[in-house]
Amino acid sequence: MKVAVIGTGFGERVVAVVWRRLGCEVEVVSPRDEAGIARVCASDVDLVSVHSPPFLHRAHVLTALEHGRNVLCDKPFGRDAHEAETMRDAAVAAGVLHFLNFEFRRHPAWTQARGLLQQGAIGDLQHISWMFIGSGLREQTFRWLFDRDQAGGWIGAYGSHAVDAMRYFFGDEIASCGGLRRTETTSRLDRDGNRHPSTAEDAFSGWFVTRSGKTISMDTAFSTPVDLPHRIELLGDRGLIEIRDNIQVTLERPGEPAQQFAFEGSDWDAHEPGLMPWLTAVRDAVVSGQPVTPDFDDGLAVARVMDQMRANMVDLRPEAPVRAESGRAQRIDRLLAHGR
């Protein structure tokens, strides 16, 4: 199988490596090389794997679709729900296979947790408590990820994965959401040593409610001085499932000893345990011509939630502390008092 990977960052460093490990013939193209992208999309590749920055997704996905290519697109799916819908509709019109790179759905720990849910191990899932605090962005240089005008920010980079996971675990759509977002590292140096303001958030605390009235609370930051355990707690009416650091799943039920399931991490890249089974599923889908999810419909559903998140988020920045009498503080008080 022939794969064209658009992206010289994560695409070349991680995704292309996994494709090659799966026995695929891979060509990597820079997202800035318009002629190269047009050439590979017009060639006999079986799949175009798009891992360019999100503000370029629409152009690259549509180019691939214009040539009738199957497409895998990374998250977040474009800059907003409008772009996501344009890409989804174009893929449907083209009649090709389309996939969204929410690879953590296939992570063995998440697969184990969902299997337990489907078996009724904790009864009816009522609430998810999610905390992910880390330092991964703290020392990174300025680029699109830290520029809100270029669809940067932690809501898209990580929140998109989390929202898809909420839909995956609950089997339900998010009906409403909101919260607070903040920027802990307010400026960064670029590769040439020039300093730029960071206009996109690197942390947020959010609340979510599904259509059936189930709830999620989330606290996440990725530019902190230290790392804390990554914990996803799934609370049902008859027990609890905890995913810790994606290497341990614990099932707890009243009056019973806890059950634990252990999984290996990766010494190479944290995405590998989920990416390997996911790209295997994509490869097999392309070979067989049969669709597999997550796909562009899932990407659009998540994009709609993220648009709502951004619209309902209150911005907090360290250099602009909230005063008790400010309108911002009053809005926060209303959010906390009314949950909306």
217-264 pLDDT, tens per residue? 999 999 999 999 999 999 999 999 999 999 999 999 999 999 999 999
Strand 248-252 and strand 240-244: the pairing is antiparallel
Pair (98, 111) in one structural domain: no
pLDDT of residue 322 exceeding 70, the answer is no
Tell me, what CATH number does 92's domain have?
3.40.50.720
Tokens of 215: 């709830």
Alpha-carbon span 40 to 67, nearest angstrom = 10
Pair (11, 128) in one structural domain: no
pLDDT recorded at residue 329: 46
Alpha-carbon span 296 to 281, nearest angstrom = 16
Residues near 84 by Cβ (< 8 Å), separated by ≥ 6? 77, 78, 296, 299, 300, 303, 304
Span 304-320, average pLDDT: 86
Number of domains in the chain: 2
Alpha-carbon span 2 to 23, nearest angstrom = 9
pLDDT recorded at residue 199: 95
Tell me, what CATH number does 204's domain have?
3.30.360.10
Alpha-carbon span 161 to 172, nearest angstrom = 15
Q: Is residue 336 part of a domain?
A: no
Residues near 280 by Cβ (< 8 Å), separated by ≥ 6? 22
Span 165-174, average pLDDT: 97
60-84 pLDDT, tens per residue? 999 999 999 999 999 999 999 999 9
pLDDT band at 317 (very low <50, low <70, confident <90, very high): low
Q: Is residue 324 part of a domain?
A: no
Pair (41, 137) in one structural domain: no
Q: Is residue 255 part of a domain?
A: yes
Pair (162, 256) in one structural domain: yes
| Among 314, 320, 317, 318, residue whose Cα is nearest residue 333 | 314
Pair (71, 110) in one structural domain: no
Q: Is residue 328 part of a domain?
A: no
Average pLDDT value over all residues in the chain? 94
Helix, coil or strand: residue 30: coil
Pair (45, 187) in one structural domain: no
Q: How far is CA 264 from the centre of its chain?
A: 21
Alpha-carbon span 272 to 261, nearest angstrom = 19
pLDDT of residue 184 exceeding 50, the answer is yes
Q: Is residue 330 part of a domain?
A: no
Q: Is residue 335 part of a domain?
A: no
pLDDT recorded at residue 318: 55
pLDDT recorded at residue 88: 98
Q: Is residue 248 part of a domain?
A: yes
Q: Is residue 76 part of a domain?
A: yes
pLDDT of residue 336 exceeding 60, the answer is no
Any idea how long the chain is? 340
190-206 pLDDT, tens per residue? 999 999 999 999 999 99
pLDDT recorded at residue 316: 86
pLDDT recorded at residue 128: 98
Pair (117, 67) in one structural domain: no
Alpha-carbon span 166 to 160, nearest angstrom = 10
Pair (147, 286) in one structural domain: no
Pair (166, 201) in one structural domain: yes
Pair (174, 285) in one structural domain: no
Query: What is the model's pTM?
Result: 0.92
Residues near 93 by Cβ (< 8 Å), separated by ≥ 6? none
Strands of the sheet containing 98-100, edge to edge, are: 25-29, 2-6, 47-50, 70-73, 98-100
**What are the phi and psi torsion angles at 14 (to 5°)?**
-120, -55
Could you give the count of Cα atoms lying within 13 Å of 142 in the half-sphere of its Cβ?
Answer: 19
Q: How far is CA 334 from the centre of its chain?
A: 29
Question: What is the extent of the structural domain holding 193?
Answer: 106-271+302-316
Pair (172, 198) in one structural domain: yes
Helix (H) or strand (E) holding 21: helix 16-21
Pair (217, 136) in one structural domain: yes
Alpha-carbon span 286 to 151, nearest angstrom = 30
